[in-house]
Amino acid sequence: MLTVDFERLALRPGMTVLDAGCGQGRHSLELLRRGCHALALDLNLAELKYTRFLLDSLLGGEAPPGPQGGETSTRAGATDSAGATEAPETPDNPDASEAQPPPPYLVLRGNAQTLPFRAASFDRVLCSEVLEHVDDPRRAAAELARVLKPGGMLAASVPTPATEWLYRFSSDDYFNTPGGHVRIFSMGGLRKLLSSQGLEVIDLHFEHAFHSLYWWVRCVFGLHAENHPAIRHCKKILTHVMFSPALAQAERWSNWVFPKSMVLYARRV
């Protein structure tokens, strides 16, 4: 299930793309499928471990070459217990990264508010369903813009304000769960945030209408009660949508009525 529309990003094989807040790696997986070099970054160790497994699986179980020539690993620094990696230190030699082609992907543990990369390092940057979680979204937006090459594109998605207010009304737990959402963005607010960092918003679309209903059901019957019959039934419907062209088309139409996510695309000027 993808939130970002990759066709709008004008991706080309060989591009280096940062997936900031990669979660379980769904967007990073698509980047690899399209021949890009993916850098999957997140703070959650359990999800990074799954991401590494997922991306390794796409490559037939073979980890990509590591930063130390000839080494077979996804590591770019000291590893942790989850098999993910801490962000690499910047080499003293500015030409060191050009000595060998970048690996197909790296899975790194890091914070979107303090990215450990040089300015203008990435052709594209993805930040899907992250900004509503961070303490300082302006700082995060500044970092995302800083590491994006001039003329490069950023795709940023956040939940729609209508659904967020509905969930807040329906469940006291929705905004009070550790690691959950801490703010609500309007479309104008997100556009202003990106524009303030020298990013020109050029496109937008909406996604995941059926997820709007699913999360409302969870808020009503218990945000953490995943075994409730109503919640389990809704989850089955979401699974069917992935394999049913008719249901997928119905959701695309519904995205104009009650979408769960809004996605803005911006270019660094």
Q: How far is 18 from 149, CA to CA, in rounded Å?
A: 11
pTM comes to: 0.83
CATH, domain 6-160+174-209+260-268, list 3.60.15.10, 3.40.50.150, 3.40.50.1820, 3.30.2290.10: 3.40.50.150
83-116 per-position pLDDT tens digit: 444 444 444 444 544 555 556 899 999 999 999 9
Give the C-alpha separation, 162 to 183, whole Å: 13
Q: Give the model confidence (pLDDT) of 205-223 as tens digits.
A: 999 999 999 999 999 999 9
- Tokens in use for 203? 């496109």
- 199 has a pLDDT exceeding 70: yes
* Residue that the structure tokens 């500044």 belong to: 142
- Percent of the chain residues past pLDDT 70, beyond the cut: 84
- Rg of the chain over all Cα atoms, to the nearest angstrom: 19
Query: What's the CA gap between 43 and 216, in Å, rounded?
Result: 27
Any idea where the domains of the chain sit in the sequence? 6-160+174-209+260-268
